[in-house]
Structure 1
Amino acid sequence: MTKLLEQAFKAARNLPPAMQDDMARVIMAMTGNELPVVQLTAEEEASFDESLAQAERGDFATDDEVRAIWAKHGL
């Protein structure tokens, strides 16, 4: 590891965790090991998979269902 990179890591240790994670993502991307910005839980992944499957089947909300949701939230 170069001295400059060692200095950068030393400086990064004093940054807030979110900034450290941002820097880590940039380094990982530069090394070809890109990480997703958001880590989904298994439950969230399953929900997205089901949503995509519904879309592929053409299972969409009707106009009336959408209007009912909007009305429920005062929109």
Structure 2
Amino acid sequence: MKNNPDNRKDNVERIQRNIDYTISNIHRANEVIDETSDENAKRELQAKNERREKALEGMRHEIKDEAEYRKNSEH
């Protein structure tokens, strides 16, 4: 079995798409939280958004690392 080479060419763009998608999900969940009277659904969505916020922190750190790698590998 042949290993695939490490292709990091589109990592920054891929991570940015994931960040955008996650932020969009947070906004949509907040809209549902504001519109629903179901307290259980609100708690679940709030917990989900907290996990999303933590994931965003990691993705933002990762995108910085990838951007730095790209900058250093071009020279």
Q: Same fold (TM over 0.5)?
A: no
- Bin for the TM-score computed over the shorter chain: under 0.3
Greater relative contact order (Cα < 8 A, sep 6+): 2
Structure number with higher helix proportion = 2
TM value normalised by structure 2: 0.26
Larger Rg: 1
